[in-house]
Amino acid sequence: MEESIQKQTTIFARYVDMFMEKLPSLIIAIITVIIGVIIAKVVKRMLTRFLKKYKSSVGLVSFFINLSQVTIIITACMQALSGLGVNTTSFAAVLGAAGFSIGLAFKEVLANLGSCMIILFFKPFDIGDYIMCEGTEGTVYEIQMFSTTLKTNDNKLIIVPNTQVTTNPVINFTAQEKRRIDYVFNVEYDTDVKKLYEIANKLFDSDPSILNSPKPLIGVESMDNNIIRFVAKPWVSTKDYWDTYYRLMEAFKHEFDINGIELSRVHIVNGNK
């Protein structure tokens, strides 16, 4: 019994000695990690101020901040492990092999990550832009590492994989300051075309949102099947698009009713969302 107690005491003393021997290295390792976290926070603040000062993309700012933080903290942890005697070279090799295997298993995920880099660096669109891709449209709400979130006009969120918006055509409706409203009316063949011109010019001249440059495009686009295809396409500031669109549509309806103009079929070509 006494021999067993003495043996356990000896083992305990050995572990205490080992702990005391490693204590300075352990303290240094903890301090190293703490310093790494502090540096990461300082770098985060500096990058935030620097990148926002130069009006960088919100998604790009967020990506670089997160990448910098993670890189600094991982470096600090590796340095701490190295100070404790851990072979970080082997550890890095294991991580590399694991990363290769994970890459094969999650190639679609990595493809989305690569697409995120393309979006952030080349900026085909930015947060707040209204875009359409493969029939999906909405305002860009967030650009994440693997997907882009769109918010529809009825306040729904659509999650779109980043690969979809980098491998398919994307229409950015709000990238320019000016936008054109396209009205196309199909009227009866015997309609007085001059009256159509008068109505369009009257409405465009009286509406303060209509821009003088470029000038509105007004005219007869085609005549077939006993139908005249009349177009009226004014330019407006992007911010005024929807208000002007609905206001003028009501005004056209009112003027057509007053002047007895009958529509065979109203076909509205609306290329700007």
User: Tell me: the pLDDT tens digits for 116-156?
Assistant: 778 877 888 888 899 999 888 999 998 887 889 999 988 99
Is the pLDDT assigned to residue 235 strictly greater than 90? yes
| Banded model confidence at residue 257, pLDDT cuts 50, 70, 90 | very high
Q: What is the pLDDT of residue 72?
A: 79
Residue 79 sits in the same domain as residue 149:
no
Classify residue 96: in a domain, yes or no: no
Classify residue 115: in a domain, yes or no: no
Q: How far apart, in whole angstroms, are the C-alpha atoms of residue 143 and residue 148?
A: 5
Q: Which of 86, 103, 131 corresponds to the end of one domain?
A: 86
Q: What is the pLDDT of residue 271?
A: 46
Residue 36 sits in the same domain as residue 64:
yes
The CATH number given to whatever domain includes residue 149 is 2.30.30.60
Classify residue 111: in a domain, yes or no: no
Residue 205 sits in the same domain as residue 251:
yes
| Banded model confidence at residue 254, pLDDT cuts 50, 70, 90 | very high
Classify residue 211: in a domain, yes or no: yes
Classify residue 95: in a domain, yes or no: no
Q: What is the pLDDT of residue 52?
A: 62
**DSSP H/E element including 171:** strand 170-172
Classify residue 151: in a domain, yes or no: yes
Tokens of 32: 């190293």
Q: How far apart, in whole angstroms, are the C-alpha atoms of residue 113 and residue 170?
A: 18
Q: What is the pLDDT of residue 243?
A: 93
Q: What is the pLDDT of residue 145?
A: 76
Q: Which of 39, 68, 86 corresponds to the end of one domain?
A: 86
The CATH number given to whatever domain includes residue 241 is 3.30.70.100
DSSP code for 210 = B
Classify residue 113: in a domain, yes or no: no
DSSP code for 125 = S
Q: What is the pLDDT of residue 146?
A: 82
Q: What residues make up the domain containing 235? A: 178-259
Q: Which of 172, 193, 209 corresponds to the end of one domain?
A: 172
| Banded model confidence at residue 231, pLDDT cuts 50, 70, 90 | very high
Residue of 166, 80, 72, 68 whose CA lies nearest to 123: 166
Is the pLDDT assigned to residue 225 strictly greater than 90? no
- List pLDDT tens digits, range 146-205: 889 999 988 999 999 988 888 899 999 888 899 999 999 999 888 999 999 999 999 999
The total of structural domains in the chain comes to 3
What is the sign of the dihedral through the CA atoms of 214, 216, 218 and 222? positive
Write the CB contacts of 85 (distance below 8 Å, at least 6 apart in sequence): 25
